[in-house]
Structure 1
Amino acid sequence: MQKRIQIPDYPRYAFARQRAYRLLCELEIDRLPVDPWKVVEALPNVHICKWTVLRDNCGDTDPLFINKEGADAKTQHLRGRADYLVVYDDRVENYQRIRWTIAHEIGHIVLGHLISFDATALYRGSLTEAEYKVLEREADTFAVNLLAPMTIINRLPSVQTKSDFMELCDLSGEASENCMEELRLLKSGKKIPFPVKEEDILHRQFFRFINKFNGTEMPSLKYDDLEIDEAFDDYIDCDYWDFTLMAIRKWKLEKELYSALEGSLALYDCEDMVVFVKDAGKVEFVVKNEDIILETLQRYSDSCIKRVSVYVAKMRKKAIGQQIK
């Protein structure tokens, strides 16, 4: 018989946050609110079912004892398989509460609560009160950072009240209070620091959302407005270029280089990137600082770019005419 792994004495808050962030990164989620149903759909071994549907089709009047235990949802690890079944009580009328419940159940799965410990780890009868609370708090921390990732919320200064969380993240009042407490602890410095790698990736993914929400979007060149040599027809927009410019300014502290690149357009193809700048007088300066651009791309944008070419932007006549109007 496989020896049972001991349930931790205290909740692994940093671990739960990291796993929530990692899942958001893997699914390339880049905006709020996060849809937990879509998260489930993206997990090939996780299946979700309404309690009333399961009740009507399995011949059991109270499958998984949802009624008896007054639970909003239950998750079952299907024995002999790597699959999980999440059953939620669809009679609950509060949609936001169900969203939270599903995120909480995803947390139990992702954190390994059903396989790292006993097969019955989530059945309260087999747990001490202390063990049950540890697992529940871990799942709650996961749910908070899946539906309202604090590293993103912390970059939205106007999100401060319970109502703000309810509106932005589509949460219930109770869930929003949990988020506010998490944010308070983060700002107070009492929480263990976030995992840097996942935080950087999330910041990159949510960068456009953050700027749009904060009203800090900077005007930049657009592909359709430029006369671009046909040699670059196979090149595509660099989605993380604005994030890279922010990293050059704020994290690399290369303000002069940022100024030269501000509002530029970047296209890439495999390991090659071309950058179109607004000021012809800045082309040579940007070329001389190619190493800084490459280092920033690799470190903060997880990019495989190895060569950067710089050109002055040439506006299409139509675009110029439209601007004059």
Structure 2
Amino acid sequence: MDYDFIQRKVYDLIFTFIDSIPIDPFSIVSYFDSIFICSYKEYSEYYNISEDDVIRKFNSNEGFLLKCKDTSTNTNYYIMGYNQNKSKERIRFTIAHELGHFILKHNDRTSKNILNRYSLSDQETQHFETEANHFAKHLLIPFPIALYFKKHLNRFTAEIISNIFNVNFEPANYVFLNLNKLGDYSKKYFDSNIEQIILKKFNKSIAKILYKNRCLFCGHIFYVKDPKFCPICGKTLLLRESIDDIFPYFINYEDDNMIYSKIEINENHKAVKCPKCENEHIVEGDYCQICGMHTVNRCTFCHELLDGDARYCHECGAESTFYINRILTNYEGYNYLGKDDAPF
């Protein structure tokens, strides 16, 4: 098995379609016009057969990839099926596994429409299944990201991997054992350039897990390493919520956060359009070439780059450029603790 080839195929998908964890294999599949995805229930209803018939037809109670021919255009398309009765973690792995068959062109390499042990030799079946499993594990749990968590968490277990990447225990344990085997050789195993590109691409998702902070005064949730001030109200009453503290419960990717006005910014902290005149042709520099307004949110004292909703610097507490120019409205004074409990 060519592990490097499979890894390159995984990275191609990551660089093209993915920028957050947990990785959504359904979303990736949707980018391929030639793949139609359905549950066993939907397939059985469409063809007026039972779900047991579907399992028998494809010899799998997990999922399948069926290669079909559109005779009107003489082109191939694929039906990808999954058993909706499995756990959501198992379904995610099944979709990633079947996507592996598609990306690695297993159907084309065998000229078989259905890949199962009745149509393939035992050796072919084992080879293709091993490749698809390897593909799925590395897609759902990118090793560079898992290694980064290993280095920055006080505890690192298969259960934590399962929790972070929303996968079942088997692939999580596979990654955990392999990363432990690498030890000091991890720097040699990973291409440092690719690793840095991946970490930068997933920077926001990583920060949401490692650096979650909640202001106990205004209730704002933000993701910065070791902040000293709340970027919304400027107070210092902050609570860091680390995965080390909340595990083994769960990671909540949908935070019940307070919503404050904000300016949409890009990865360089520059406004997508001028917050004053709405000019969309933003040039280099910190100012709009039409009206002269600030287009980059910075701390007015230490010049730290800030998020689009930051009224105050999380490092020194000074006002931001967006706030001092009244691009952002004044903090309304919502008291997360309650008026009687606030220590101010």
TM-score in terms of structure 2 length: 0.59
Aligned counterpart, 2:66: 76
Matching residue within 230, 234, 237 for 2:265: 237
Deviation at 1:72, TM superposition (A): 0.9
- Deviation by residue 1:70-97 (Cα, 9 ceiling, x = unmatched): 44111011124332111112233x2211
Q: Does the CA contact (< 8 Å) of 1:20 and 1:145 recur in 2?
A: yes
Structure 2: distance between partners of 1:277 and 1:72: 51
1:110 Cα offset (Å): 1.4
- Greater shift after overlay, 157-166 or 194-203? 194-203
Query: Aligned equivalents of 1:191 and 1:69: distance in 2?
Result: 42
Number of the residue aligned with 1:90: 84
Residue 213 of structure 1 aligns with which residue? 209
Q: Is 2:177 the partner of 1:170?
A: no
Counterparts of 1:47 and 1:173, CA distance in 2: 28
Are 1:42 and 2:42 counterparts?
A: no
| Residue segments in structure 2 that go unaligned for 5+ positions in a row | 212-222, 235-262, 273-280, 287-295, 304-319, 332-343
Distance 1:161 1:86, change over 3 A: same
- The 1:213/1:130 distance shift into structure 2, 3 A limit, reads same
Give the residue type in structure 2 aligned to 1:237. I
Cα distance in 1 for partners of 2:302, 2:83 equals 64
Select the structure that is richer in helix. Answer: 1
8 Å Cα contact 2:101/2:132 also seen in 1: yes
Q: After TM superposition, give the deviation of residue 126 of structure 1 in Å.
A: 3.8
Residue 155, structure 1, aligned to residue 148, structure 2 = yes
Distance in 2, Cα, partners of 1:53 & 1:238: 40
Residues 1:140 and 2:152 are matched in the alignment: no
Q: Which amino acid counterpart does residue 86 of structure 1 have in structure 2? A: M
User: What SS does structure 1 have at the residue aligned with 2:204?
Assistant: helix
3-state SS in 1 of match to 2:118:
helix
- 2:13 pairs, out of 12, 23, 48, with 23
Question: In the alignment, what sits opposite 2:289?
Answer: none
Q: Relative to structure 1, is the Cα distance of residues 44 and 63 closer, same or farther in structure 2, using a 3 angstrom cutoff? A: farther
Matched, 1:124 2:114: no
* Cα distance change on mapping 1:105 and 1:197 into 2, 3 Å: farther
Matched, 1:115 2:108: yes
TM-score by length of 1: 0.62
Q: CA deviation at 1:187?
A: 4.0
Alpha-carbon deviation of 1:217?
A: 2.2
- The secondary structure found in structure 2 opposite 1:44 is coil
Higher relative contact order (CA 8 A, sep 6+): 1
Q: Single out whichever of 123-132 and 185-194 deviates more from structure 2.
A: 185-194
Q: How many Å apart are 1:175 and its aligned residue?
A: 2.7
Moved more, 139-148 or 111-120: 111-120
CA RMSD of aligned residues (A): 4.1
1:184 matched to 2:206: no
Q: CA deviation at 1:136?
A: 1.5
SS in 1 for 2:22: coil
SS at match of 2:149: coil
Report how many residues are paired.
252
Q: Secondary structure at the match of 1:154?
A: helix
3-state SS of 1:105 partner: helix
Alpha-carbon displacement from aligned partner over 1:41-80 (angstroms, at most 9, x marks no partner): 2322211111132223214455565477344111011124
Preserved contact between residue 65 and residue 114 of structure 2 (Cα < 8 Å): no
Distance 1:317 1:144, change over 3 A: same
Between the aligned partners of 2:188 and 2:107, the Cα distance in structure 1 is: 25
Task: Show structure 1 runs of 5+ residues with no match.
Answer: 1-10, 226-234, 242-264, 283-311
Q: Percentage identity across aligned positions?
A: 21
